[in-house]
């Protein structure tokens, strides 16, 4: 084996090993998210007695890389991407001394948090809109950074010092619920709804082609100051 080939193969092993380490760390963190969300649902049912109207607060495991939390009229879906990513050169994180000291720290797994209306799944309204309210970047040292909305993104953006421990995971789940509760469904503009085809009216309610989303027809809050 030539020296150049040996160096090449060692580079392959080093990069692949780094990504496997990041993946394993992210998957372990994702499993902790599952565990703490289950505990949260159990705590809800212990502390909240039966009400006049049934108010769901339910955890559902959707596989290795996905789970959902349904509460009230909303669903949060947590989804872990199976690949490992690096921040772009222009990202603020890349300018920190934490990354400059060790570039391998910039490689991260990603956990996405999506918000949907519970009725979108209940009535199989496949054209309805959901929104990504946050995404969590996790490196091999279990440091994390969140890009997201209000309660989520603004509170968890200190990548060099923030570690994704149990306390942080609980706080992220709670903040995601709080943001969703404050992110209400708005009536779409009249002009977007005034025309309906005969076919749409003849379609059953479950398949009605009216899209529903919390900011459908409006400028979503991600695009405006909050």
Q: Note the pLDDT tens digit of each residue in 57-114.
A: 999 999 999 999 999 999 999 999 999 999 999 988 899 999 999 999 999 999 999 9
Q: Is residue 212 part of a domain?
A: no
**What is the distance between the alpha carbons of residues 68 and 61, in angstroms, rounded to a whole number?**
7
Q: Is residue 204 part of a domain?
A: no
Q: Is residue 200 part of a domain?
A: no
**What is the distance between the alpha carbons of residues 177 and 71, in angstroms, rounded to a whole number?**
8
Q: Is residue 178 part of a domain?
A: yes
- How many domains, the chain? 1
What's the DSSP call for residue 26? H
**Residues 134 and 153: beta-carbon distance below 8 Å:** yes
- In sequence order, the 6+-apart residues with CB closer than 8 A to the CB of 226 are 149, 150
Q: Is residue 206 part of a domain?
A: no
pTM higher than 0.85, yes or no? no
Q: Is residue 14 part of a domain?
A: yes
| Residue 132, pLDDT above cutoff 50 | yes
Per residue in 159-199, pLDDT (tens digit) is 999 999 999 999 999 999 999 998 776 565 666 555 666 66
Q: Is residue 50 part of a domain?
A: yes
Residue-averaged pLDDT of the chain: 84
Structure tokens at 114: 């999506």
Residue count of the chain = 226
**What is the distance between the alpha carbons of residues 150 and 131, in angstroms, rounded to a whole number?**
14
Its sign, for the CA torsion 87, 93, 95, 98, is negative
């Amino acid at each position: 084996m030539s020296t150049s080939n040996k160096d090449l193969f060692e580079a392959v092993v080093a990069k692949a090993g780094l990504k496997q380490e990041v993946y394993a760390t992210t998957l372990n963190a994702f499993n902790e998210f599952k565990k703490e969300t289950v505990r949260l649902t159990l705590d809800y049912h212990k502390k909240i007695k039966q009400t006049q109207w049934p108010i769901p607060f339910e955890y559902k495991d959707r596989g290795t890389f996905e789970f959902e939390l349904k509460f009230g009229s909303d669903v949060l879906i947590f989804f872990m991407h199976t690949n490992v990513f690096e921040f772009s050169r222009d990202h603020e994180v890349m300018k920190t001394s934490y990354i400059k000291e060790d570039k391998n720290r910039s490689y991260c797994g990603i956990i996405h948090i999506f918000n949907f209306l519970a009725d979108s799944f209940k009535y199989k309204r496949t054209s309805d809109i959901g929104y990504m309210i946050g995404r969590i970047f996790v490196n091999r040292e279990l440091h994390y950074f969140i890009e997201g909305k209000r309660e989520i993104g603004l509170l968890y953006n200190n990548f060099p010092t923030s570690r994704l421990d149990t306390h942080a995971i609980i706080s992220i789940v709670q903040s995601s619920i709080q943001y969703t509760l404050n992110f209400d469904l708005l009536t779409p503009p009249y002009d977007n709804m005034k025309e309906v085809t005969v076919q749409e009216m003849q379609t059953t309610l479950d398949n009605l082609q009216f899209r529903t989303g919390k900011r459908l027809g409006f400028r979503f809050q991600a695009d405006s100051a909050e």
